[in-house]
Structure 1
Amino acid sequence: MFNVFKVRIYPNQQQEIALNKNLGCARFVWNYYLNKTNSQYQATGKGMTYCQMAKDLTQLKKNTDYEWLAESTAATLQQALKNLESAFKNFFKKRAKFPKFKSKHKKQSIRYPESCSLKNKGLKLPKLGIVKAKISKKIVGKIKSVTVSKTSTGKYFASILFEADNLIINKNELVSGIDLGLSSKRDSF
């Protein structure tokens, strides 16, 4: 069984810079290949597949104008291409609207599909090391992926997808609630 657990993360200054670079590179790759696929579709009647985009991305990263893409984790860039391909498939199956260009002024996210773990009250992410996190539940199981998001207000969150049989809640966390004393009256039918 798969479960998702969302936590607030607190990157230090260097990690924040690296995360912002990763977010920017993934956004660039999405926008670049959305534009390239649209142009190819208009010219030939066929768009680009994930394999074609991934092969082209490898060549693009070798171009001196785009060397900065190598600073990002390769897996996050490939994931951006997979997400773009899924967006196109969902559009053509009439399950979603046509993919839009991404903006840095709205919520942004990247997915780390591998090499993530929980260590020392933090979340270990590729090329970032251990990022401080507020983890209120113990995750027992294999982490499948981590999606890091940045809100428009500059806060960072991580959604951890893991495979487990059960979810254990730390006993130290306190839960509080408020009884507002509301009642509702319904007319008789």
Structure 2
Amino acid sequence: MKPTVVNLMRYLGGLAALWGIAYVINGITQAGAYVRIQVNPAAGTADQLRLSGVNMPYGVKLDTDQLPVHAWGSTVLEQALSRGDVLLAGLCAFAGALLLERLLMTFLQGRPFAPGNAAKVGRLAALVVVAGVGGPLLPTIAAWMALNRTALAGTFTAAYDFSPVPPAIGLILTALAVFIRSGRTPEEELTAPRLSRTTGS
């Protein structure tokens, strides 16, 4: 029987994926209404934008902190992309949970250097980077589309919410994958291709 933590991991990963899908579908149903985008004031416009409502066209309102903007008349693609980071994070979390499940089982069996573990950790690193770096790029594209549609591209620029944490975690996981790969015995190196064909790992 699988340990409770392994089952819980798969359950939470599935919930994350379902939440991301539902969140995007909910946004798509709001196409034509406001879409929330993250922006930065363009050079030379920050002082002007401190006055709420200055030069704001009909259907656009500015929040108090100046970064989130709600643009009316959104398209389906804008709504989907504006929430695409949540969807991508959920899907990557589900895929990562499945990989972690297999990794944990080998660790609990006392086989941390089992054939295929290094590749699984490498895939985990890729998932972290895709979710953490590629995910925030989707709302940025939505912001760029909305700014061009509302003729605000000269007033704002699309914001990209970059964090160095996901790339750092990806590098750590990559180093761990190299360590696991280097820790395999010659016998494991010889049997790895045969095990990959028979187990599908």
Q: Is TM (by shorter chain) over 0.5? A: no
User: Which structure shows the higher helix fraction?
Assistant: 2
User: Which structure shows the higher strand fraction?
Assistant: 1
Instruction: With the length of structure 1 as denominator, give the TM-score of the two structures.
Output: 0.30
Instruction: With the length of structure 2 as denominator, give the TM-score of the two structures.
Output: 0.28
Answer with 1 or 2: which has the greater Rg. 2
